[in-house]
Structure 1
Amino acid sequence: MTTQSKAKWLRFLVLILGGGTIYKLANLKDAFYVPIQQYMGLSHTELGTLLSANAIIATALFVVGGYLADRFDTRKLIPLGLIGTGSLGLYLATFPGFDKLLIVFCLLAVCADCIYWPALLKAVRNLGEDNEQGRMFGFLEGGRGIVDTLVAFSALGVFVAMGSGEAGLKSAIVFYSLVDIIAGIVTWFLLRDNKAAPVVKKEASLSGMSGLLEAIRIPGIWLVSFNVFMVYIVYCGLTYFIPYLKDIYELPVALVGAYGIINQYFLKILGGPAGGFMADKYFKSPSRYMKWAFLALLPIMALIMLVPKGGHFIYIGMAATLSFALIVFTMRGVFWAPMSEVGIPQRITGSAFGIACLIGYAPGMFAYVIYGSILDHFPGQQGYNYVFSLMSLLALIGFMVCGLLHRAVRKNIATVQHTALAQA
């Protein structure tokens, strides 16, 4: 391996470090849902409101972030996003009131989703040659999952070492913050843009508005978008398996944190590759795989709701909820793949993804508030039964939406084959 190649992969590892840590503060609920409620005095609804506010700002500023990434040097934007996030985390560790927390979570979205994320994607693209793009982005997602898990378990270790109480939670937040700041500083010194952005041929380019208008007129885009919407709104419900195990199965707080890390991070490492393998090898179609995966969620959720409650059945409860979550993560791993199946033209890919992201990720703006409000209004098992029943209903709707998507895919394939035969 040449010196230049070693330098490239070193920079790539630095990018993975930042990408695997920058969202930890905005997603503290993944490992510390119960301690946050206990020591920051937040209800389910208030915590859901913070998550929704973060998602709203992130969605609103996504286009702005893309502009900034094209306008300014990624070597400046990436450290700025990381250090800004870490600084907000240090303030978060003082446990400010709800009104100030709302501002902090909005600013976390500015730093992570507007300043950092588009710049990260551009930096990864610039690190690799054209024939390396698939590997680079594949390694990025897999690497982020590994860093997610390692950093989160390290923070949980800090929490336990400091007594698993208020001091432990503050220390864990400070740990996340310092990792972000250190990653930002290291990135500043190691990251360099090693090639210029590709030049787009004039005859192959479309204006943003004309590409958007063309994309809007393609029915397949809407089916893909609503399919992503249904996967994501069910995914948001996975968060509530964490307090469920604590409240109903009496799982210790530290073990609840470990479960949350596995539920939200480790399954990402397994789910993405597993979903892709099954979609390609066994179902021969991502849309067909997701259709039946939605249906498979229903009996597993029924099992979750029917398993006897209490500490004696904790391992059955954990296995059932993790099985449900794993299927959801396999779907997340392939829910963008139908873009090619429905025949989206390559020249409007950006516009298509813009529409799909806006619709598909929309549940992040309201799902947590809905789920949290249900749990606050109906404490105990009754509230969880309502939440899990709602998730089952949404999975059933997802099955129907994905059925329509798969029908559109088959129609597009038939059209392409007919056209090919006519031209032969």
Structure 2
Amino acid sequence: MDTKSANFKKWFTFAILVLGAGTIYKVASLKSAFYVPMQEFMGLSHTQIGTATGVWSTIASFGFIFSVYISDKFSKKIMLPLALILTGFLSIWLATFPSFKVILFIYAMFGITCDMLYWPILLKSVKSLGDDHEQGRLFGFLEGGRGLVDTIVAFIGLGIFAWLGSSALGLKSSIWFFAIAMIVIGIISYFCLEHDEKVVVDQTEKTKGDTMAVVKATLKMPEVWLVSFTIFFVYGMYCGLVYFLPFLEEIYALPVALVGAYGIINQYGLKILSGPVGGVLADKKFKSPSKFLRFSFVVGVIVLGLFTFLPHKVLGIYTGMILTLVIGTIIFAMRAVFFAPMGEIKIPNEMSGAAMSIGSFIGYAPGIFAYTLYGNILDNNPGLKGYQIVFLIMCGFGVAGFIVSNLLVKKIQKK
């Protein structure tokens, strides 16, 4: 295959992966744009929304363990479309506004379809598209592309919600739209993606293609643990971003008409800017995703710490919106590249699936407890005090993240 054809194939595959990645989490992350409508029409409290998300994250985290066996054995052509279609049907079920117990079950299933079956295989597929020097850009543009698809799809859903009077019917219709989008893109993915190329493993190696041997060898790499915990602390900060939505509504009296739009910009729109910028800075400016993350932890903690103790009650709505979006931009830039160090530490191809699954299991673990913790804090500490506690915990994640990322940078420099 000539260079031009190979390049086209690479970016066409990347585009299909971005389409799926930008839609599969639309309903599982419904709170990102519809937090307040979920409370109003589904009758959910802060704690219940946090609990549902925690159940999803718990199942997802353990699902990542099983994905070690799946990601290196099944082709993206089968697994990615299957995950999208199954998630679409689960979303249709959620649109019936079932009981809270059923909602918990649906969110548990999201942990299987979105995370165990989809995410590690997506990451492995993206990593395989470029060499070690392209990892920051690839993952950055993945996040940026996801942000673009996320934003377009979310604004259409929000438009449907508003068109139907911002009512319960509007919320149900928006969920239906997201579900249909997943199913359609799943079908498109099946016909457009190719089967993975088989990696030929040297049979003289100790692993000999055996899954458990590969996992054990991967677990013995300290760099994998350092990357995984760097992801962990970025994600702990990221979990707090969704609470900017009720924060602005409650403390800054953000109009209901702006709540959904702000939520889409905060959770999805920022990816469009932050993803590519973070990826390019990591590769071109810092010459290392790990060094970029170390620097960003410092900036994030300083900005968020100062923001926590501002006189919020006398600041204007737009000031609050701008400041929270600045914080979100920093954290999204970090989130865009937090898997890129897996390429930087030179994981062998036969260990890529295991490394991504381990990184996902540890890295996304804050989702198990952070949303429930944050929601419980807000329910038990009404007003500004509760949000300040949440923001300070986010700062704590940032400080710990700086320590771990600094160890990672030193480890890479030694190698």
How high is the TM-score relative to the length of structure 1? 0.84
> For 1:367, what is the secondary structure of its paired residue?
helix
Give 1:13 shift: 4.7
Distance 2:130 2:284 in 1: 28
Q: How far apart, in 2, do the equivalents of 1:118 and 1:59 lie?
A: 11
Larger Rg: 1
After superposition, the C-alpha distances for 1:94-132 in whole angstroms (9 at most, x for unaligned) are 211110100111112222223344565677799x7999x
Structure 2 distance, partners of 1:3, 1:161, is: 44
Unaligned runs of 5+ in 1: 417-424
Please, which runs of 5 or more residues in structure 2 have no aligned partner?
none
Mark the CA change 1:345 to 1:94 in structure 2 (over 3 Å): closer, same or farther: closer
Bigger mean CA deviation after superposition, 28-37 or 196-205: 196-205
Instruction: Name the CA distance, whole Å, in 1 between partners of 2:387 and 2:348.
Output: 43
Q: 1:199 maps to which residue?
A: 200
Q: Residue 23 of structure 2: SS of its match in structure 1?
A: coil
2:39 to 37, 40, 49: 37
CA contact (8 A) 2:279 2:337 kept: yes
Going from structure 1 to structure 2, the CA distance change for 1:270 and 1:353 (only over 3 Å counts) comes to same
Q: 1:16 to 1:286 in 2, by over 3 A?
A: closer
Aligned Cα root-mean-square deviation (Å):
3.4
Q: 1:10 to 1:372 in 2, by over 3 A?
A: same
Find the aligned partners of 2:72 and 2:123 in 1 and give their Cα distance. 11
Quote the Cα distance in structure 2 between the aligned partners of 1:195 and 1:279: 28
Q: Could you tell me how far apart the structure 1 residues matched to 2:355 and 2:177 are?
A: 38
Percentage of matched positions with identical amino acids: 46
Are 1:290 and 2:293 matched, yes or no?
A: yes
Which residue does 1:420 correspond to in 2? none
The match for 2:385 among 366, 378, 382 is 382
Paired residues of 2:231 and 2:339 also in contact (CA < 8 A)? yes
Matched, 1:149 2:155: no
Matched, 1:225 2:223: no
Q: Distance in 1 between matches of 2:369 and 2:33?
A: 21
**Higher RCO, 1 or 2 (CA under 8 Å, sep at least 6)?**
2
Cα distance between partner residues in 1 of 2:363 and 2:5 = 42
Q: Which residue of 2 aligns with 1:100?
A: 102
Return the alpha-carbon distance in structure 1 between the equivalents of residues 48 and 315 of structure 2: 32
Q: How many residues align?
A: 410
Cα 1:193–1:378 shift into 2, 3 Å:
same
Match of 2:60 among 45, 50, 58: 58
> How far 1:240 sits from its partner (Å)?
0.7
Counterpart of 1:322 (choices 318, 321, 325) is 325
Q: Is the 8 A contact 2:64 2:360 kept in 1?
A: no
Q: Which residue of 1 aligns with 2:162?
A: 160
> Is the CA contact (8 Å cut-off) linking 1:68 and 1:115 kept in structure 2?
yes
Alpha carbons of 1:102 and 1:409: their partners in 2 closer, same or farther (altered >3 Å)?
Answer: same
The equivalences for 1:342-357 within 5 A come to 348-357=351-360
Q: After superposition, where does 1:11-410 map in structure 2 within 5 Å?
A: 13-65=15-67, 67-68=69-70, 74-117=76-119, 140-188=142-190, 190-191=191-192, 193=194, 196-204=197-205, 206=207, 207-309=210-312, 313-339=316-342, 348-410=351-413
Taking structure 2 as the reference length, the TM-score comes to 0.86
Give the counterpart letter for 2:328 in structure 1. A
Task: After TM superposition, give the deviation of residue 82 of structure 1 in Å.
Answer: 2.4
Q: Does the 8 Å contact 1:205/1:347 carry over to 2?
A: no
